[in-house]
Amino acid sequence: MATPNILLVTKGHPFDRDAFFGMFDAINVNWTHVEQPAARLFFSPENAEPYDALVMYDMPGITFSPGGPTFETPGEAYKESLLALLEAGKGMVFIHHAIAGWPAWEEYAEIVGGRFLYMAGELRGQSLPDSGYRHKVEHRLSVLKDHPVTRDLPETFTMTDELYLSEVFEDSIEPLLASDYAFTRDNFYSATRAVAEGKMFDNEGWQHEDASNLVGWIKTYRNSPIAYIQGGDDPDAYASEHYQKLLENAIHWAASADALEWARNV
């Protein structure tokens, strides 16, 4: 297909702007950047029409403060607008911390295929602890399926990146990538300790069950093809040729007619 035009959405989590936007300059996409909350205006079939896909590197619905984060519930008009966009079949790619977005809106987790919880909470009828994080993990990724998103990637490749011990809805996703890292409590730090208590890199007394090692997947919601890539924390990840190829592939797939047809017929 022709070079896709994408809307690139950020805000809510710090990142190296020069390195991040330089990565998008290096791959085959035409990108327009907008930050939250202004980005919400584009989440409708009419306002998103100029873009072939939306790429989310944002974390809407969370405000961080010294006493801990507060969570915003999106208004009904916004929910209806976003769901109408998904009904229309707009392709979306969620990257890294975007899986933490809209924590007070459970349906958003179903759209993405999982959730990173900054605070303990309810999800799918279960009481769950806060999620875990670990920076600068050198790990090996394995391609699980030959797919346009994984095309031209080696069967295995290494990256250094941040990983999450978080919720993955394996019953509603199609796995594409797995990590060889051990997704166990001892290998991660508590998100709540970091954001509510100011204790970075702390897991004393924190409990969390082992979690999925899936770090890339595709899925559908309504009529939209959706991809999620857990990687993408910092310039080390942005500079990876394999990560750049993965991101480019995911965007081209989400923007394609084939992906739209797949999403409508799954």
pLDDT tens for each residue of 126-155: 999 999 999 999 999 999 999 999 999 999
The pLDDT of 13-18, averaged and rounded, is: 96
Give the up-direction half-sphere exposure of residue 248: CA atoms within 13 A in the CB hemisphere. Answer: 21
Q: Which residue has the higher pLDDT, 114 or 1?
A: 114
Angle between helices 241-254 and 257-265 (to 10 degrees): 70
Q: Taking a C-beta distance cutoff of 8 angstroms, is the pair 98, 57 a contact?
A: yes
Q: Taking a C-beta distance cutoff of 8 angstroms, is the pair 244, 232 a contact?
A: no
Q: Tokens for 100?
A: 């933490």
Q: Which residue has the higher pLDDT, 171 or 66?
A: 171
- Model pLDDT, residue 67: 85
Superfamily of structural domain 5-127+168-178+214-265: Class I glutamine amidotransferase (GATase) domain (3.40.50.880)
SS3 78: helix
Question: What confidence tens digit (pLDDT) does each residue in 169-181 have?
Answer: 999 999 999 999 9
Name the one residue in this structure whose structure tokens are 């998100």: 191
Q: Taking a C-beta distance cutoff of 8 angstroms, is the pair 217, 175 a contact?
A: yes
Phi then psi for residue 141, to 5 deg, are -100, 140
- 50 prior amide bond cis, ω within 30: no
Count of all residues that appear for the chain in the document:
266
Q: What is the DSSP letter of 38?
A: G
Instruction: Let me know if 27 is exposed, middle or buried by CB neighbors in 10 A (0-12, 13-18, 19+).
Output: middle
- Model pLDDT, residue 1: 59
Angle between helices 241-254 and 17-26 (to 10 degrees): 70
Percent of the chain with pLDDT over 90: 98
The pLDDT of 87-92, averaged and rounded, is: 98
The pLDDT of 212-239, averaged and rounded, is: 98
Instruction: Give the containing element (helix H, strand E) for 115.
Output: strand 114-115
What rounded mean pLDDT belongs to the chain? 97
Alpha-carbon gap, residue 115 to 164, rounded angstroms: 10
Q: Tokens for 93?
A: 């790619």
Largest CA distance in the chain: 52
Q: pLDDT band at residue 75, thresholds of 50, 70 and 90?
A: very high
**pTM beyond 0.75, yes or no:** yes
Alpha-carbon gap, residue 6 to 167, rounded angstroms: 28
Residue 259 in this model has a pLDDT that exceeds 80: yes
Question: What confidence tens digit (pLDDT) does each residue in 36-58 have?
Answer: 999 999 999 999 999 999 999 99
Count of CB atoms situated within 10 Å of the CB of 129: 18
Picking from 224, 217, 207, 212, the residue whose alpha carbon sits closest to that of residue 263 is 224
Say if strands 189-190 and 132-143 run parallel, antiparallel, or are unpaired. antiparallel
Phi then psi for residue 249, to 5 deg, are -60, -45
Alpha-carbon gap, residue 7 to 194, rounded angstroms: 31
- Model pLDDT, residue 266: 86
Domain ranges of the chain: 5-127+168-178+214-265
